[in-house]
Amino acid sequence: MIYRRSSALFAEAQRYIPGGVNSPVRAFKAVGGNPVFVKEAKGAYLYDEDGNRLIDYIASWGPLILGHAYAPVIDAVIEKAKKGTSFGMPTEIETQLAKLAVSMVPNIDKIRFVNSGTEACMSAVRLARGFTGKDKIIKFAGCYHGHSDSFLIQAGSGAVTFGSPNSPGVTQGTAKDTLLAVYNNLESVKALATANKGEIAAIIIEPVAGNMGCIIPEENFIKGLRDLCDQEDILLIFDEVMTGFRLAKGGAQEVLGVDADIVTFGKVIGGGLPVGAFAAREGIMGHLAPDGPVYQAGTLSGNPLAMSAGLAMLTELNNNPEVFRSLADKTKYLGKGMAQVLTDNHIPFQMNRFGSMISIHFTEEPVVDFESSAKGNNAAFKKYFHGMLNQGIYLPPSAFESYFLNDALSYKDLDETIAALANIAKDLH
């Protein structure tokens, strides 16, 4: 496929925007080559600036779960835009979306809207610290909760020491309050809780992880965290920016049957417009300004335009819950077909799949945490990514991402994807 216009647009973008992109993963650094510039999209298909049609498996990194330019969302946004986009004043539609989200998600009485998943997770941690009066948090290596300082931390020197910044600009002062545990390793969490007894405000986790590729929580891992939090008076924060309204109406809490204390959202809740949110029971949310002392704010938080997209999206999902089963079935079909191709070609691989999240890792070893995910053969992944792109299949341009299926994908699209893999599988050794 030709990407001449995308390359020219990328060259110009780099003159005015750092790296030519407004979010690093889009720049193809992990897979090489120039990023594809998209012109428009409809349903399961992207149409790029060179006229190529691409079957889309990122859905804008999750939000477009019903496909691009989904008519009920678009119509709602158009109608709302005609009446003004934002007022900096309360509007009824914020309450309508809040009421619907609270009705769909277990264990939440109230929800605060923000403008991104980063804001949601950052605010959730501040709320947990304010509610508990404790400073430290535990996160997991490989989990991503947005780019606020407390989360840009990598493992410290020892097993139970403080984290250290993994980005310039993050201070040691911040890093010392973030402790790193190992996903699917409850002992690593217990060790941190023991070594920092009485100092930990919260554990934040992606209940089904999507930022190491897709990583599935092992039996009793999440339940073990719940029990530990109850024993140690620690709040459990589920970062459901990816899993919320994707795995089920009630997200990972519903599917895993484990209660979180605070839940964060993004992506699907905004229907493709900038919306994040965090939610909890009244006893916790009551600590948030203006009711309580924990400050959090935002000029465009809850703006009616974004709320109209989110309300249309969640209304569709709430009224048609069979879509979650449809998405899971399509993901299973795709995974089965691709796994067969890789097996037939004797390619070492692991495939992790949960609901409509899936990822392929070119490694013999099961992928259960960041360390095992990092052992994937990235040279093979690059060949896989570009080989599929050249056949009109758009996959996440990094081995450390989950695919996000949308329900506009037909079984014909899935078969075309499996066939594209069959065409290149022999090159993946």
Catalytic residue numbers read 144, 239, 267
Does position 208 interact with ligand KE4 (CB under 6 A)? The reply is: no
Only one of the segments 156-164, 220-228, 234-242, 292-300 lies at the binding site for ligand KE4 (rule: CB under 6 A); that segment is 234-242
- Which one-letter DSSP state was computed for residue 37? P
Does position 30 interact with ligand KE4 (CB under 6 A)? The reply is: no
With CB under 6 A as the contact rule, the residue among 242, 247, 273, 341 that binds ligand KE4 is: 242
Does position 38 interact with ligand KE4 (CB under 6 A)? The reply is: no
Q: How many residues interact with ligand KE4 (rule CB under 6 A)?
A: 19
Q: Do residues 417 and 411 touch, judged by C-beta distance below 8 A?
A: no
Residue number with CB closer to ligand KE4 (335 or 396): 396
Does position 239 interact with ligand KE4 (CB under 6 A)? The reply is: yes
CA 37 to chain centre: 22
Can you list the positions of beta strands (E) in 281-374? 350-354, 357-361
Q: What are phi and psi of 81, to 5 degrees?
A: -60, -35
Sheet holding 357-361, edge to edge: 350-354, 357-361, 403-404
With CB under 6 A as the contact rule, the residue among 241, 284, 312, 409 that binds ligand KE4 is: 241
Least gap, CB of 121 to ligand KE4 (angstroms) = 5
Torsion angle of the four alpha carbons 286, 289, 294, 295, in this order, in degrees rounded to the nearest 10: 160
CA distances (Å), origin 22, targets 8, 19, 119, 144? 17, 8, 17, 17
How far is it, in rounded angstroms, from Cα 146 to Cα 121? 7
Residue number with CB closer to ligand KE4 (401 or 407): 401
Between helices 304-319 and 92-104, what is the axis angle to 10°?
Answer: 30
Contacts of 318 (CB under 8 A, 6+ apart): 100, 103, 104, 249
With CB under 6 A as the contact rule, the residue among 35, 67, 146, 163 that binds ligand KE4 is: 146
Least gap, CB of 166 to ligand KE4 (angstroms) = 15
Residue 354, classified by CB atoms within 10 Å of its CB into exposed (0-12), middle (13-18) or buried (19+), is buried
With CB under 6 A as the contact rule, the residue among 43, 117, 251, 310 that binds ligand KE4 is: 117
Residue number with CB closer to ligand KE4 (260 or 428): 260
Only one of the segments 102-110, 111-119, 248-256, 335-343 lies at the binding site for ligand KE4 (rule: CB under 6 A); that segment is 111-119
Least gap, CB of 147 to ligand KE4 (angstroms) = 7
**Euclidean distance between the first and the last CA atom of the chain, given in angstroms as a whole number:** 23
Does position 263 interact with ligand KE4 (CB under 6 A)? The reply is: no
Does position 373 interact with ligand KE4 (CB under 6 A)? The reply is: no
With CB under 6 A as the contact rule, the residue among 207, 210, 302, 376 that binds ligand KE4 is: 210
With CB under 6 A as the contact rule, the residue among 31, 121, 222, 393 that binds ligand KE4 is: 121
Q: Would you state the structure tokens that stand for residue 97, as one six-digit string?
A: 């979306």
Does position 23 interact with ligand KE4 (CB under 6 A)? The reply is: yes
Q: Would you state the structure tokens that stand for residue 5, as one six-digit string?
A: 């216009």
Question: What character string, x for contact with ligand KE4 (CB under 6 A) and - otherwise, covers 272-311?
Answer: ----x-----------------------------------
Q: What residue number has its CB nearest to ligand KE4?
A: 117
Residue number with CB closer to ligand KE4 (132 or 243): 243
Q: Would you state the structure tokens that stand for residue 287, as one six-digit string?
A: 């600590």
Sign (positive/negative) of CA torsion 210, 215, 221, 223?
positive
Residue number with CB closer to ligand KE4 (120 or 284): 120
Least gap, CB of 405 to ligand KE4 (angstroms) = 15
Size (the chain), residues: 429
With CB under 6 A as the contact rule, the residue among 3, 10, 61, 354 that binds ligand KE4 is: 61
How far is it, in rounded angstroms, from Cα 163 to Cα 151? 10
Q: What is the DSSP string of 56-116?
A: ESSGGGTT-TT-BT-HHHHHHHHHHHTT-S--SS--HHHHHHHHHHHHHSTT-SEEEEESS
Does position 271 interact with ligand KE4 (CB under 6 A)? The reply is: no
With CB under 6 A as the contact rule, the residue among 178, 211, 363, 377 that binds ligand KE4 is: 211
With CB under 6 A as the contact rule, the residue among 57, 113, 131, 144 that binds ligand KE4 is: 144
Q: Which residues bind ligand KE4 (CB under 6 A)?
A: 23, 25, 61, 116-118, 121, 144-146, 206, 210-211, 239, 241-242, 266, 276, 401
